Structure 1
Amino acid sequence: MSVVASAPGKVLMAGGYLVLERPNAGIVLSTNARFYAILKPLYDEAESDSLTVEWMDLKVNSPQMSRETTYKMSLKDFTLQCSSESRNPFVEYAVQYSIAASYAKLEKYKMNKLLKLLSQGMDITILGSNDFYSYRNQIEARGLPLVPDSLATLPPFTSITFNAEESNAENSKPEVAKTGLGSSAAMTTAVVAALLDYVGVVDLPLYSKNQKLDKSLDLDLVHMIAQTAHCIAQGKVGSGFDVSSAVYGSHRYVRFSPNIISSAQETVGTKPLDEVIGDVLKGKWDHERTNFSLPPLMNLILGEPGSGGSSTPSMVGAVKKWQKSDPQKSKDTWNKLSEANSALETQFNLLSKLAADNWDSYKAVITGCSMLKSEKWMEQFSEATDVEIVKALLGARDAMLKIRFHMRQMGDAAGIPIEPESQTRLLDVTMNTEGVLLGGVPGAGGFDAVFAITLSDSSTNLTKIWSFHNVLAMLVREDPRGVSIESGDPREK
């Protein structure tokens, strides 16, 4: 009896910084890069009398990092005793809070079955798609070109190398090079989903290609526990868009009020954990999510510039400091950014509607524009419907240029590189490539990655140009589905 759950990584296309404050929205795309949690019992047999069992054995494997961590978990107060140095707080909180939620949610008559399961222990293996990590150094070391085909030669779930130069005597474990897809949120969500499904608290959908954004209460339960575990593991209550997209897939997101989780943070340790989690589940979760995904025949493509990445928390801190020091100017910039974000969403929704209403025209326009630079798009078409589609494409492009302008303004004012000069030059080249609709820095910006939206089959143009500019195009694409149960171990596929 094993359960395999997976949850996607994300790209925040619009709404960086603003999404931290209600009622500003973020547009978040989930991707085909997924984190997997494989959960099975540690022992075949339950202890003779599972009702008197006070401890559960737990083993967490991370084969990509060559780590195995063993724990004993108290079934009275859910505390963990760890026998190894390498610990993963995201997995620890995910397990503790999911089991506490099981105690809070399950009816009394189901507790015997739960205790029997827990007395068999838990063996959890976590695996992340290669796209979550940077393998650029390995590709360069092997003398391969910086193109997606080189990435495709790596076996799935390749071992992760640590950034040795970051380590010092105090740091026992150096940081790994990541690509900014939200690995901790996807991992936390996958572990929570696998565990809640395993103990029978939720019944999650099996993976399917055309999974819709489900309104099911089971997904809401996974969301609440994963958000809480992720925030407490991070030590701060973030906006939560990364966990939300890991659960629900691509959507338009407005954050929850932070006090739902901050009040839980305050009571952890002063009252039983299952009561704390029970309060979280009863809390007023006021986040909003609206269906959103890219219009047809559009592709998300991500590029890794290889410039080392950025620290999101310190950049967010700098923006908040600037907001306090110059409230009027910052409010003005935020309002303009918010308008540009809304305009981008409006144009994308219009394009989706035009595709649904006039598929043949839409397909012809997208295919035609995919072979040309944007300044040539309008002169190709004269039919009213075709012109309307091109206008919407150019409207989306214009909205993105405004977003980039105001993000640069904000970065300059706050003294941080939200769109650093090197990224500006790269994005200008990107947006001047045939078939590219728009490009930008995702999320909080910085040096992590750049993204582009390309039309039809034009991604290969951009891949070549990026390679010339020393940027590695990744294999990531948009996949609008959220968390789901897999039919088996992904290593066996």
Structure 2
Amino acid sequence: MAVVASAPGKVLMTGGYLVLERPNAGIVLSTNARFYAILKPLYDAVGSDDLVVEWMEVKVNSPQMSRETTYKMSLKDFTLQCSSESRNPFVEYAVQYSIAAAYATLDKNKRTELQKLLSQGMDITILGSNDFYSYRNQIEARGLPLVPESLASLPPFTSITFNSEDSNEEKNTKPEVAKTGLGSSAAMTTAVVAALLNYLGVVDLLTSSKNQEIDRSKNLDIVHMIAQTAHCIAQGKVGSGFDVSSAVYGSHRYVRFSPKIISSAQEAVSSTPLDEVIGGVLKGDWDHERTKFSLPPLMNLVLGEPGSGGSSTPSMVGAVKKWQKSDPEKSTETWNKLLDANCELEKQLNLLSKLAEENWDSYKTVVESCSILKSEKWEGQFSKTSDVEIVKALLGARDAMLKIRSHMRQMGEAAGIPIEPESQTRLLDVSMDTEGVLLGGVPGAGGFDAVFAITLSDSTDKLTKIWSSHNVLALVYGSHRYVRFSPKIISSAQVSLSHTHSRKKILE
């Protein structure tokens, strides 16, 4: 039987750059776009309990990129020998560290079953929702408008178009893939780790019994630690980790872990057996913080892909750090103002959730009324005290986002990088002037990746039409109305990382 795990993409709504340093927090929202890892044995079981496997075969398929990579893995030191030209370091480290975790955690009684599984080899297929990649070329080639319905008309897991301008005549050149900035590498790494750990018996992500929720949370913590380590090592730096955290736990308020947790493991790899290193990672002092967070009811997260080619987050982060060192006084002042604005937005959104819970009828009336009006007309529509309080919170959230955008632009100008480029500024100004749009901004490190907006009730269609007229494609997962949930489900929804599906169903 195949094991299928999926993990969502992300949008960092607040905390860009700040979240790199403890104890600054960021609000990260998970999306409907998901990465899937389908894991099954390569061969039938051999049936011998005494079999000692020294090498195992691994095959990794990426149908969207028309790539298949094969490996032989040593089960003595977990090294990989690749017989293919195309390699994916994120998948490679996910495989190595997950198998090492099995050796580090499983007792002798479970080693026999582990040996059986490994003797069968592994066939891993990775698939990402279309929202992770740019399909503008395919949509335009079909003569379709840049609207969510056109993107939705493409088959699931459509083959990816590479950036032709980055290619040349050499046969071995692999052009860069055009992405939308939803954290595809983090979601992919997490899905692969989750599938592997569940398959190998290190965790059990399939249980849904209420009395096993604590164990389920602990299992997700193990997935987080392994995925976080694999992702950081694969990308060659210890990042803040909010993208992997949201891929595991869903939307939440995030404070990063101390980098030494992973950097010390990275240093130990050269002198210590990998299973011991991973055992140390699992026993490490993971001091990250995550607090429940969700958008208030009747609010929708929408992303728009401007088709600008994206930006290099590492180079932008490097430029900001260089500016901080060269002008500590001014950078600290801007940093603190940005931090205050982030906290204010979080405060106002939490207040709106509280007001919705206390007086749902009033909240629903106000939000639906504001969804058909521009923001400057919201305040004069209501006289009841409860209604006025809700409008005040809506406008407070909007003002906080405007301050965040202003400080981000100032930081970009000082550091010499386009955190909110002029083209994005014009787009966001038009977006925030649209009926029913609460706020909008550049997520994460900013640049030319997708922009985001929060819309009220049924106003999303208005925004997607505005975006289309500005040559911006709204992604599919953001084009639905948010329906209020019962508070009791949010905890279980945030840990629903792993799902069981048939292989046929996923591929369809």
Q: How does the TM-score come out when normalised to structure 2?
A: 0.94
Higher relative contact order (CA 8 A, sep 6+): 1
Task: Report the equivalent of 2:218.
Answer: 217
Structure 1 residue 219: Cα displacement: 0.4
Structure 1 residue 108: Cα displacement: 1.5
Match 2:499 to one of 464, 470, 485: 485
Structure 1 residue 172: Cα displacement: 2.1
Give CA deviations for 1:248-286 in whole Å, capped at 9, x if unaligned: 000000000000000111111211000000111111100
Give, in whole Å, the separation in 2 of the partners of 1:171 and 1:304. Answer: 29
Give CA deviations for 1:177-202 in whole Å, capped at 9, x if unaligned: 00000000000000000000011110
1:206–1:484 Cα contact (<8 Å) kept: no
**Superposition RMSD in Å:** 1.7
2:335 aligned with 1:354, yes or no?
Answer: no
2:95 aligned with 1:80, yes or no?
Answer: no
Give CA deviations for 1:370-397 in whole Å, capped at 9, x if unaligned: 0000010011111011000000000000
1:47–1:119 Cα contact (<8 Å) kept: no
Code of the residue aligned with 1:416 in structure 2: it is: I
Give CA deviations for 1:16-38 in whole Å, capped at 9, x if unaligned: 00000000001000000000000
2:417 aligned with 1:416, yes or no?
Answer: yes
Structure 1 residue 52: Cα displacement: 1.8
40-49 or 187-196, which deviates more:
40-49
2:205–2:216 Cα contact (<8 Å) kept: no
Instruction: Give secondary structure in 1 for the equivalent of 2:201.
Output: coil
Task: Report the equivalent of 2:448.
Answer: 447
Give CA deviations for 1:32-59 in whole Å, capped at 9, x if unaligned: 0000000011101237465321011111
Structure 1 residue 226: Cα displacement: 0.1
Code of the residue aligned with 2:368 in structure 1: it is: T
Structure 1 residue 101: Cα displacement: 0.5
Give, in whole Å, the separation in 2 of the partners of 1:123 and 1:129. Answer: 20
2:236 aligned with 1:235, yes or no?
Answer: yes
Structure 1 residue 156: Cα displacement: 0.3
1:213–1:291 Cα contact (<8 Å) kept: no
1:419–1:441 Cα contact (<8 Å) kept: yes
Code of the residue aligned with 1:67 in structure 2: it is: R
Task: Report the equivalent of 2:138.
Answer: 138
Task: Report the equivalent of 1:103.
Answer: 103
Task: Report the equivalent of 1:150.
Answer: 150
Task: Report the equivalent of 1:285.
Answer: 286
Structure 1 residue 93: Cα displacement: 0.2
Give, in whole Å, the separation in 2 of the partners of 1:371 and 1:123. Answer: 51
Code of the residue aligned with 1:484 in structure 2: it is: S
Task: Report the equivalent of 1:200.
Answer: 201
Give, in whole Å, the separation in 1 of the partners of 2:87 and 2:208. Answer: 30
Task: Report the equivalent of 2:184.
Answer: 183
Give CA deviations for 1:383-418 in whole Å, capped at 9, x if unaligned: 011000000000000000000000000000000000
Give CA deviations for 1:52-84 in whole Å, capped at 9, x if unaligned: 210111110001111111111111111111100
Instruction: Give secondary structure in 1 for the equivalent of 2:28.
Output: strand
Code of the residue aligned with 1:387 in structure 2: it is: V
Structure 1 residue 161: Cα displacement: 1.1
Give, in whole Å, the separation in 2 of the partners of 1:418 and 1:54. Answer: 50
Q: How does the TM-score come out when normalised to structure 1?
A: 0.97
Code of the residue aligned with 1:462 in structure 2: it is: L
4+ residue segments displaced more than 6 Å: 212-215
Instruction: Give secondary structure in 2 for the equivalent of 1:61.
Output: strand
Structure 2: which 5+ residue stretches go unaligned? 483-492
Structure 1: which 5+ residue stretches go unaligned? none
The count of aligned residue pairs is 490
Give CA deviations for 1:350-379 in whole Å, capped at 9, x if unaligned: 111111110000000000000000010011
Give, in whole Å, the separation in 2 of the partners of 1:112 and 1:180. Answer: 42
Task: Report the equivalent of 2:331.
Answer: 330
Give CA deviations for 1:433-490 in whole Å, capped at 9, x if unaligned: 0000000001100011110000000001101111111111111239974522233234
